Amino acid sequence: MKKIRVAIIGVTGYAGEELLRILLNHPAVEIRYLGAKIEKGTPIGEIFPQFSSLHLLCHSEIDKEEVLKVADTIFLALPHGVSLQYVPYFYAGGKTIIDLSADYRFDSAEIYEKYYIPHTSPQLLKEKVYGLPELYREKIKKSKLIANPGCYPTGVILGLAPAVKEGWINTESIVVDAKSGVTGAGRSLKPQLLYSEVNEDFKAYAVGTHRHQPEMEQEIAKLGNGKSRILFIPHLAPYNRGIFSTIYADLKVRVSSEEVWEKYSSFYKEEPFVKVLPPEKFPSVKEVRGTNLCLINVRVEKRTGKLVILTVIDNLTKGASGQAVQNFNLIMGLPETMGLENLPYLP
Amino acid sequence: MKKIRVAIIGVTGYAGEELLRILLNHPAVEIRYLGAKIEKGTPIGEIFPQFSSLHLLCHSEIDKEEVLKVADTIFLALPHGVSLQYVPYFYAGGKTIIDLSADYRFDSAEIYEKYYIPHTSPQLLKEKVYGLPELYREKIKKSKLIANPGCYPTGVILGLAPAVKEGWINTESIVVDAKSGVTGAGRSLKPQLLYSEVNEDFKAYAVGTHRHQPEMEQEIAKLGNGKSRILFIPHLAPYNRGIFSTIYADLKVRVSSEEVWEKYSSFYKEEPFVKVLPPEKFPSVKEVRGTNLCLINVRVEKRTGKLVILTVIDNLTKGASGQAVQNFNLIMGLPETMGLENLPYLP
Amino acid sequence: MKKIRVAIIGVTGYAGEELLRILLNHPAVEIRYLGAKIEKGTPIGEIFPQFSSLHLLCHSEIDKEEVLKVADTIFLALPHGVSLQYVPYFYAGGKTIIDLSADYRFDSAEIYEKYYIPHTSPQLLKEKVYGLPELYREKIKKSKLIANPGCYPTGVILGLAPAVKEGWINTESIVVDAKSGVTGAGRSLKPQLLYSEVNEDFKAYAVGTHRHQPEMEQEIAKLGNGKSRILFIPHLAPYNRGIFSTIYADLKVRVSSEEVWEKYSSFYKEEPFVKVLPPEKFPSVKEVRGTNLCLINVRVEKRTGKLVILTVIDNLTKGASGQAVQNFNLIMGLPETMGLENLPYLP
Amino acid sequence: MKKIRVAIIGVTGYAGEELLRILLNHPAVEIRYLGAKIEKGTPIGEIFPQFSSLHLLCHSEIDKEEVLKVADTIFLALPHGVSLQYVPYFYAGGKTIIDLSADYRFDSAEIYEKYYIPHTSPQLLKEKVYGLPELYREKIKKSKLIANPGCYPTGVILGLAPAVKEGWINTESIVVDAKSGVTGAGRSLKPQLLYSEVNEDFKAYAVGTHRHQPEMEQEIAKLGNGKSRILFIPHLAPYNRGIFSTIYADLKVRVSSEEVWEKYSSFYKEEPFVKVLPPEKFPSVKEVRGTNLCLINVRVEKRTGKLVILTVIDNLTKGASGQAVQNFNLIMGLPETMGLENLPYLP
């Protein structure tokens, strides 16, 4: 098989590390360039011993021209705001770009700027495709610029999509109560992320102000009637990987749990990475740990007139790097599951 | 100080162990009788080394007559259904009973029986007082039979009470998304409670069917207009102690975050164990670990018309044994905080 | 590739589950029979959802004849004492047997019986090969009965072997201080294995009396001068997978850290699963999580005249099921690493 | 009771926080001054909400004169090297100083300087008393400068003292294999202390080079024949509080487990904080969590001629701040256990 040459910029964060894990085992990939914000160029095996079979330097200064030369697809696993510095150049160079940051996820520069920073290449926002394959597969296949979804939005949008498309729920009063493992906060040196602090604790943060809220709203609005208001409350839980989303929506129509379950099941029937669970089976984050899966339980709670949806994903895999590779596979015409078939990390 | 003689039946569960911890340091208490479902009578210091200063046998067969003779107050830390076997006898004997089980929490035997088992002393249901001091302090002081609230209901009712009393929210569409530490499941030998299973996992359970749901509804109905429907979703999180409740209610009136915060603050102003946090301070379970505290954050989320309340308690303390001792203090005319003043277990 | 038909008896324990994970992805294996001590025959996908792609029943009653018919290689992941009931029959049937229990690990029935139970097929003890490929590769290739090593012995013997063979250390005063994750205790329902008990705790157990002590001594004696006395102290640590062994041996000869390091490096140079780390790099259990690797750090501590060896393995993989598959590969003439090449589970 | 006025410098580290917890509940203490390396003076209740009842500023600039004026006893919970800046001044001012750092623990400036930094007040080394009450109680009572022992040395010296004093063991070949919880590393912002890194991991560090090694050797040498060589290997384990030390010593004399146990028991018979466990009871770190206790198990392992000692302490309490208060009580003529009597944090 002719290998596709790839570069990863931002390889030292958790998403970058996970991306490298997946790509290193991907039969159609040849890794050609690594970069990250580190002090000086360092062999990747010294940074991450598990990758010592890969004899490649991780560059501290990104030589964009060199990247253009050696790579066909460029993965950016950078903090928001930093991707802005790379995407226009690589896009102009005709490369396929899969950007894991938030920088190109929004359709409107205005909303991006409200939650992040000034956007320096807003013209590219309409070129990008929001990389959620289950909803935008055909567009993804033809795209050169993928804005890979945020971790929370991935699990939430997949959980809401069928109900929103059917017009069953009021999209302006959705509650998302999400619980994330600690890798979701990245590898940043903050006192509140120290082991002794997080361990044995559980807390909410960014109540109603998290940046993933407008991202979810953008996508839910597009799936439905153009309107969306979501109250999003993220929580930090003491485990490493995984997001558990408990979603509450007001039903606008009379529909039974059975109908809902059947619609969800048929909606995702052909999807390799989305599983609708039997009604009495609730998902757990460990079942998807290390995989690109999203598990969904959905039910009508009649007494309160709510649709309740439970979803789990691994924030580093389906919530970031696994989805990035899924998008890559689609663009390259490869089997969608290539490199993404490993079983969950259990126990 | 003349000491009050107490018995603890069911001392080997987590709530019983916590109760003994508190009572052992309580200056007005003399522990006179211990019992539990164990194979044979065993010194308590052999079961729990931390209590070896207490030279007392833990009985395997409860001698009810003996209990009547040696104790003035009887704490029952038994599974539901088992308290039914003791309460009528001790009540007839004129003792003060503080029952940590669900057996006398309901006003209606019918509801109890729907969720638990047939009730064998329904006549006592109207004698009991639901032991939530912040709401029923005066009744508690005069009671001989306290039905100590469930762990989830404690944090949820305290979080909802001011808003319900003000008539601000629709009590028929409340969502309670709660996250409990593992001691909440008790010391029972179930495969899903093994360390290797719970560790690194997070999951929902008993979605919409948990027994604490009707208990919350009973109390919320009484505080409001007699009607209550709550959608309660408990989750199991990988830490030992604490319940984090995220509560979502639909506002019926126009009210600001400031007004709400002020009402809550004044409502709990005199309470030694309930703290309303500043608006931008979110609670965390570790802040209350080992204490009898309940911390509350409350806010209006205008875009979606919701009142959002975050509360934390320690399920073993305010959610069980601490609250039992708080009730005991009230009944005995002791300072309400006696024996309950320790600082949280940090870090 | 013609597939080798295998059976797994005892698939519901942690080692069995891990074995099935590995074999399901093994390109040369066809899984034909599953059995376990369960209440009634159940599809494996109902027991372990991660294996639902495998449409196979897990039998509650093992039909030995059927096993003989459908499988060429039989993996036994059973508690000690239970393998005794199966091995003679399958061995007589000419099958290749890889037994993960302790039942055939000892050369002497007497020692087995001292630590375990009466042995009912001692004649087979001399037929078995102790399945540590790094020491017994050639014998393993020709064997029909593999006694797969215990988890603790695997990491300890690999750590000691080069020094013992060189005659550098006194093999009668070895100290092994080992720390195991909780899956090492299996999936048994014991109160001390509940999450709320193990979490935040650390303790020693079976000090000087653990059954893996005579197993280590047997092997170390064979590698050296026939004599071995090991003081083995295992500890239980609050994480799921991995064994960290800190080994202290008295040096009999003058040897430098450099010489030792070089000998170890050359001893394991060709080994795919054993890595001798650079002198200043200490191993950690997470680096081998989910892999078949053993990492070793070795050094001379001159001041006290000790050789200190640090080793890590994953108790379920190199310490049990991964090693079983490594043995299987050797016997079948397959590449030794087949099915065992995945990267560690990080973070 | 007339209260003793105290100051705490370095209150924002884990040891400082623990010290404040203890002193806040200490009936004979009035806290008068707090200081720490923070950006600007901040009410302590804003830094640590659990202390909001204490209306006191935590100073960012330490006004030494002011401290002299308002406090009689000064606790220094500072990193090594920083205490050097304060001790001479406060000592000259006639205050009682309890220094939790390593700065005055050594008798010899030379050894201190080999492991730490140049010593600027070596003349005070002979004024200090090493604050291990079980060994130096009478000297402590008369001292104005306490060098509070390191966390590892506390558990190790208590474990070795009776055997060393009896002359039973070779003090030049002692092995100490210790396992510490993560608070032992302090509240420092290091990537390897992030939750996602430490969680599910276990590793050794500073093998043979840890600064607590010479501290142990100094004390063991003094207890014995003046000679001591200890091989000390610390490990980092994924829990918050506690040190488990497994100590291996070569026996020089014939002595039985019974004799040893009896000597240890009588040696510590009157000690309020040291408990020698029954021979078959192994200690665990959770049993001492939040307490000032040290639990000891001791035994002769005849086959290998070793004395094996297992000890547990809470690194923040007996290993730091609890011991500091124990020393304070001794100096002030207060009951030794005052403020230190709480039960362990269980479960």
Cα end-to-end distance, chain C, whole Å: 35
Distance CA A193, CA D334 (A): 40
A153 and A135 in contact (C-beta within 8 Å)? no
As given in the structure block, the two tokens for residue B192 are: 């899903």
How large a percentage of chain D has pLDDT more than 70? 100
Model confidence at A323: pLDDT above 80: yes
The D-side interface with B (CB below 8 A) comprises 14, 17, 21, 24-25, 49-51, 183, 200, 240-241, 281, 287, 289-290, 342-347
Q: Are residues D159 and D293 both part of a single domain?
A: yes
Q: Are residues A170 and A288 in the same domain?
A: yes
Sign (positive/negative) of CA torsion D328, D334, D336, D337?
Answer: negative
C197: nearest CA in chain D? D347
- Which has the closest alpha carbon to D293: D306, D278, D312, D309? D312
Counting beta carbons within 10 angstroms of the beta carbon of residue B43, is it exposed (0 to 12), middle (13 to 18) or buried (19 or more)? middle
Candidates C36, C140, C147, C151; catalytic one: C151
What pLDDT does D1 receive?
72
pLDDT, averaged across chain B:
97
> What would the mean pLDDT of D267-280 be, rounded to a whole number?
97
State the amino acid at position D11 in one-letter form.
V
- Chains meeting A at 3+ CB pairs closer than 8 A? B, C, D
Residue D143 pLDDT > 80, yes or no?
Answer: yes
Question: Which among C343, C341, C153, C118 has a CA at the least distance from the CA of C247?
Answer: C153
B174 and B309 share one domain? yes
| Within-domain flag for B133 | no
* Residue A215 distance to chain C (closest CA, Å): 27
Tens place of pLDDT for every residue, chain C, 347 residues?
A: 789 999 999 999 999 999 999 999 999 999 999 999 999 999 999 999 999 999 999 999 999 999 999 999 999 999 999 999 999 999 999 999 999 999 999 999 999 999 999 999 999 999 999 999 999 999 999 999 999 999 999 999 999 999 999 999 999 999 999 999 999 999 999 999 999 999 999 999 999 899 999 999 999 999 999 999 999 999 999 999 999 999 999 999 999 999 999 999 999 999 999 999 999 999 999 999 999 999 999 999 999 999 999 999 999 999 999 999 999 999 999 999 999 999 999 99
Evaluate whether residue A345 is within a structural domain. Answer: no
| Co-location of D172 and D293 in the same domain | yes
**In chain A, what are the helix, strand and coil shares in percent, each to the nearest 5?**
35, 20, 40
Residue C146 CA to residue C124 CA, distance in Å, equals 11
Which whole number is the average pLDDT over A164-189?
97
CB–CB contact B346 D21 (8 Å): yes
Assess if residue A332 is contained within a domain.
no
- Residue A70, domain CATH: 3.40.50.720
Instruction: Name the region of D332 (left: φ>0; alpha: ψ -120 to 50; beta: rest).
Output: alpha
Which residues on B lie below 8 Å from D15 (Cβ)? none
Residue C105 domain-assigned (yes or no) = yes
- 8 Å CB contact of A14 and D195: no
Q: Using pLDDT thresholds of 50, 70 and 90, give the confidence band for residue B138.
A: very high
Chain D: closest CA distance from residue C299 (Å): 10
Token pair for residue B215? Answer: 């208990």
pLDDT the model gives residue C293: 98
The half-sphere exposure of A174 on its side-chain side, counting CA atoms within 13 A, is 31
Q: What's the pLDDT band for B2 if we cut at 50, 70, 90?
A: confident
Q: Does residue C217 sit in the same domain as residue C78?
A: no
pLDDT at C203: 98
B196 contacts in A (CB within 8 Å)? 347
List residues bridging with C276 in a β-sheet: C296
Backbone angles phi, psi at C76, to 5 degrees: -110, 115
Same domain, A194 and A306: yes
**Neighboring chain D residues of A240 at a CB cutoff of 8 Å:** 195-196, 199-200
Rg of chain C on CA atoms, in Å: 20
Is residue C50 located within the same domain as residue C156? no
How far is residue C266 CA from its own chain's centroid? 23
Please give the average per-residue pLDDT across B189-209, as a whole number. Answer: 97
**pLDDT band with cut points at 50, 70 and 90 for residue D167:** very high
Measured distance CA(B12)–CA(B35) in Å, rounded? 8
| D93 and D9 both lie in a single domain | yes
Number of H helices, E strands in chain B: 11, 15
- Per-residue tokens: D316: 């923040």
Indicate whether C142 belongs to any domain. Answer: no
Residue D59 DSSP one-character state: E
Identify whether the C-beta of residue B95 lies closer than 8 Å to the C-beta of residue B88. Answer: no
Sheet bearing C174-180, strands edge to edge: C203-204, C230-236, C174-180, C243-250, C306-313, C294-301, C274-276
A211-235 pLDDT per residue, tens: 999 999 999 999 999 999 999 999 9
Identity of the residue in D195, D238, D240 whose CB atom sits nearest the CB atom of A193? D195
pLDDT at position C2: 87
Q: Domain boundary at C110, C127, C144, which?
A: C127
- Give the three-class secondary structure for D303: helix
Q: Are strands D294-301 and D306-313 parallel, antiparallel or unpaired?
A: antiparallel
How many Å is the maximal CA-CA distance in chain A?
62
Q: Which residue of A has its CA nearest to D14?
A: A196
| Disruptive mutation site among B18, B189, B193, B196 for chain C (greatest number of C CBs within 10 Å) | B196
Identify from A190, A193, A195 which residue to disrupt to test chain D contact, counting D C-beta atoms within 10 A and taking the largest count: A195
Can you tell me the mean pLDDT for B335-345? 97
Distance (Å, whole) CA A150 – CA A268: 20
D294 counts as catalytic: no
Residue B143 inside a domain? The answer is no
Considering the domain boundaries, does residue A338 fall inside one?
Answer: no
Q: CB of D73 within 8 A of CB of D4?
A: yes
Q: Which domain holds residue A39?
A: 4-127
Q: Check if the beta carbon of residue D344 is closer than 8 Å to that of residue D291.
A: yes
Structure tokens at A140: 């993804």
Q: Which CATH number fits the domain that encloses residue C200?
A: 3.30.360.10
CA distance D241 to D290: 8
pLDDT for the residue A188: 92
Domain shared by B188 and B307, yes or no: yes
C346 vs A25, A50, A287: nearest CB: A50
pTM (2 decimals)?
0.98
| Percent of chain B residues past pLDDT 90, beyond the cut | 99
- Whether residue A288 sits in one domain with residue A204: yes
- Which residues of chain D lie closer than 8 angstroms to C233, CB-CB? 246, 308
* E strand map for chain A: 4-9, 29-35, 42-43, 57-59, 73-76, 96-99, 129-130, 145-147, 174-180, 203-204, 230-236, 243-250, 274-276, 294-301, 306-313
Nearest by Cα to A204 from B179, C160, C49, C167: B179
* Averaged pLDDT for residues B93-121: 98
Check CB contact under 8 Å for D347 and B14: yes
Where on the phi/psi map is residue B341: left (φ > 0), alpha (ψ -120 to 50), or beta? alpha
- Residue-wise pLDDT tens digits, D5-34: 999 999 999 999 999 999 999 999 999 999
pLDDT exceeds 80 at position B1: no
User: Residue A1: pLDDT above 80?
Assistant: no
The reply to whether residue D17 touches residue B346, judged by beta carbons under 8 angstroms, is yes
Indicate whether B173 and B245 sit together in one domain. yes
Q: Are residues D284 and D224 in the same domain?
A: yes
Distance CA B162, CA D71 (A): 45
* Residue D296 belongs to some domain of the structure: yes
Give residue A2's pLDDT: 87
- From CA A180, how far away is CA A203, in angstroms rounded? 10
Peptide bond before B122: cis, by omega within 30 degrees of 0?
A: no
Q: Chain D residues with CB inside 8 Å of C282's CB?
A: 203-205, 207
Number of domains forming the structure of chain D: 2
